[in-house]
Amino acid sequence: MAADWNQQVIETFRANGGEVPQFGRRLVLLHHLGARTGTARVSPVMSFPTEAGWLVVASKGGAPEHPAWYRNLLAHPEVRIETPDDGEVEVVARELDPAEREDAWRRIIAEAPGFGDYERRTTRVIPVVELARR
C-alpha cells in the first residue's frame, strides 16, 4: 500500500511541477540505490532547504525502524533529487552529527510540528540527513 501511495505522490509531483496538495512544494523526489541490491528507487520525502542544499528526515512516521531510503543513503550517498524549483540536482547525503541534528531538529519541528509527533511514537533517534549539492 505504501508503494502505491508513494507512486501517486511521485506522479502528482511530476504532473504539477513539484506541487503536491498535502505537502505544497516541500517534497523532493529522492533517487537512491538499494543498499544490498543496487536497485534504483525513488522516494518522495519532505525537505527543508538550507544554504548547502536540503535536509530530509528519516522519520518513517515514527516507526521503530529507519526507512529503507535512509539505509540506502548510508551505503550509496551520491544520489540525485528532483526538486520543485531546481529540477534534477546531484547531491551527496550526510547524516548530521548530534549537535547539528539538535539545531536542525528545532527548525524542523517549528516548520512541521508533525515530526514531533513521530518522535514521540518511537524510542529511536530520528536521523536528519543533509543532501548537499555536488
Using an 8 Å Cβ cutoff, are 57 and 96 in contact?
A: no
Residue 32: its pLDDT value, please?
98
Find the farthest-apart pair of alpha carbons in the chain and give their distance in angstroms, rounded. 38
Using an 8 Å Cβ cutoff, are 80 and 90 in contact?
A: yes
Which domains occur in the chain, in start order? 2-133 (2.30.110.10)
H or E stretch at 54: strand 53-57
Residue 2: its pLDDT value, please?
74
Distances (CA, A) of 48 to 26, 28, 34, 53: 7, 10, 24, 9
Residue 1: its pLDDT value, please?
58
Alpha helices in the chain (DSSP H): 2-15, 68-75, 98-111, 114-121
Burial classification of residue 93, based on how many CB atoms lie within 10 Å of its CB (0-12 exposed, 13-18 middle, 19 or more buried): buried
- Digits of tens for pLDDT over the chain (134 positions)? 577 999 999 999 999 999 999 999 999 999 999 999 999 999 999 999 999 999 999 999 999 999 999 999 999 999 999 999 999 999 999 999 999 999 999 999 999 999 999 999 999 999 999 999 99
